[in-house]
């Protein structure tokens, strides 16, 4: 009898201990869940603050860039307009005409600045299809021809043609930006030559745009694709072209990188290779 009672007592004690352990474990799990939830809330709040701070910093940088780029031509416009009125009052039509021509050029420059901002803010999805790179290259060369001719730049291109998945209009935009940057980089160089080459693997096509300018500094390479970063002097843009180009290429499933070529800089645009013109784009 005593043995039976002892066994029953021991069994009940173990049940109580097990229940106590389960309650302690449940409480520990509950406390851990609460700590995780609190920590997650803290991290979420910190991330929201960081994102908001980044947005405000970018907004401030954008406002400063726009103010800097717009204020100078605006001041010049006012002076030129006042002078044109004075020239007309003196019947000096030739001088007034020159001032009006410069006013038109300044308006075009300000339009380019606004265009950069609109392109940067636009979030339309890319419409991918099988694209002939030779057609894209030909379109980009046609668009930069006035600047190429005025700057005395030579552009050497391949006759090869490959097809890639992309949006032809946006690809032209990227190539135009790379070619313009290359010409700007060689403003002070005696030999203004750009080499635009195409190379293909089984899966990708690489487009390289190489200039013979001074190349890229370490700081430029580190920040080249950031919005509003520019190595150009005042009046040459907001520093959105490469950031926008990088985003466009990434949306097409490709990549854009910059390296020093000694001499000059080399930008490599890599895009997925496409088979036939009517093939379906990759998922």
pLDDT number for residue 144: 87
Burial (0-12, 13-18, 19+ Cβ within 10 Å), 164:
buried
Average pLDDT of the residues in 251-263: 90
* Cα–Cα distance measured from residue 249 to residue 104, given in angstroms and rounded to the nearest whole number: 33
* Cα–Cα distance measured from residue 23 to residue 35, given in angstroms and rounded to the nearest whole number: 18
pLDDT number for residue 53: 59
pLDDT number for residue 280: 59
pLDDT number for residue 117: 66
pLDDT number for residue 127: 75
What are the tokens at 240?
């959105």
Contact by Cβ (8 Å): 225, 199: no
Task: Match 């995780």 to its residue by tokens.
Answer: 36
> Structure pTM?
0.60
* Cα–Cα distance measured from residue 75 to residue 235, given in angstroms and rounded to the nearest whole number: 13
Give yes or no for residue 251 having a pLDDT over 70: yes
Average pLDDT of the residues in 87-96: 92
Give yes or no for residue 51 having a pLDDT over 60: no
User: What interhelical angle do 133-151 and 168-185 show, nearest 10?
Assistant: 30
Residue predicted with more confidence, 211 or 41: 211
* Cα–Cα distance measured from residue 61 to residue 112, given in angstroms and rounded to the nearest whole number: 18
Give yes or no for residue 55 having a pLDDT over 60: no
For the chain, the structural domain boundaries read 1-122, 129-272
The lowest-confidence range among 7-16, 191-200, 214-223 is 7-16
pLDDT number for residue 237: 62
* Cα–Cα distance measured from residue 19 to residue 12, given in angstroms and rounded to the nearest whole number: 10
Collapsed DSSP state (helix, strand, coil) of residue 211: coil
Give yes or no for residue 255 having a pLDDT over 90: yes
pLDDT number for residue 277: 66
Average pLDDT of the residues in 129-158: 90
Average pLDDT of the residues in 81-100: 91
* Cα–Cα distance measured from residue 218 to residue 230, given in angstroms and rounded to the nearest whole number: 13
Contact by Cβ (8 Å): 135, 166: no
Sign of CA dihedral 183, 187, 192, 195: negative
Average pLDDT of the residues in 240-253: 86
* Cα–Cα distance measured from residue 146 to residue 143, given in angstroms and rounded to the nearest whole number: 7
Give yes or no for residue 110 having a pLDDT over 60: yes
Residue predicted with more confidence, 12 or 273: 273
* Cα–Cα distance measured from residue 232 to residue 21, given in angstroms and rounded to the nearest whole number: 70
The lowest-confidence range among 17-26, 136-145, 234-243, 274-283 is 274-283
Architecture of the structural domain at 129-272: 2-Layer Sandwich (3.30)
Sequence-distant (≥ 6) Cβ neighbours of residue 85 within 8 angstroms: none
Banded model confidence at residue 155, pLDDT cuts 50, 70, 90: very high
Among 215, 219, 146, smallest CA distance to 186 is for 215
pLDDT number for residue 1: 62
Average pLDDT of the residues in 50-67: 59
Could you tell me what percent of the chain has a pLDDT over 70? Answer: 80
Give the model confidence (pLDDT) of 95-105 as tens digits. Answer: 999 989 888 88
Residue predicted with more confidence, 45 or 62: 45
Q: Which residues pair with 266 in a beta bridge?
A: 210, 259
As a whole number, the mean pLDDT across the chain is: 82
Give the model confidence (pLDDT) of 175-197 as tens digits. Answer: 988 998 899 889 888 889 999 99
226 — phi, psi (to 5°)? -85, 145
């Amino acid at each position: 009898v005593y043995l039976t009672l002892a066994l029953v007592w021991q069994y009940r004690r173990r049940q109580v201990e097990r229940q106590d352990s389960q309650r302690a474990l449940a409480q520990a799990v509950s406390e851990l869940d609460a700590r995780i939830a609190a920590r997650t809330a803290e991290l979420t709040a910190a991330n929201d603050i960081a994102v908001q701070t980044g947005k405000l910093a970018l907004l401030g940088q954008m406002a400063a860039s726009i103010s800097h780029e717009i204020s100078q031509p605006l001041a010049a416009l006012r002076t030129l307009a006042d002078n044109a009125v004075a020239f007309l009052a003196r019947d000096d039509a030739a001088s007034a005409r020159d001032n009006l021509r410069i006013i038109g050029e300044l308006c075009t420059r300000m339009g380019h600045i606004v265009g950069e901002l609109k392109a940067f803010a636009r979030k339309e999805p890319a419409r991918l299809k099988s694209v002939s790179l030779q057609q894209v290259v030909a379109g980009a060369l046609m668009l930069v021809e006035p600047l190429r001719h005025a700057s005395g730049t030579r552009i050497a291109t391949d006759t090869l043609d490959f097809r890639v998945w992309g949006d032809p209009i946006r690809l032209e935009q990227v190539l135009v930006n790379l070619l313009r940057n290359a010409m700007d980089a060689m403003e002070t160089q005696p030999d203004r030559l750009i080499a635009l080459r195409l190379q293909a693997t089984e899966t990708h096509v690489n487009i390289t745009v190489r200039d013979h300018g001074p190349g890229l500094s370490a700081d430029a390479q580190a920040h080249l694709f950031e919005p509003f970063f520019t190595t150009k002097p005042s009046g040459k843009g907001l520093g959105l072209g490469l950031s926008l180009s990088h985003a466009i290429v990434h949306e097409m499933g490709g990549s854009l990188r910059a390296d020093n070529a000694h001499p000059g800089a080399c930008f490599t645009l890599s895009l997925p290779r496409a088979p036939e013109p009517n093939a379906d784009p990759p998922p």
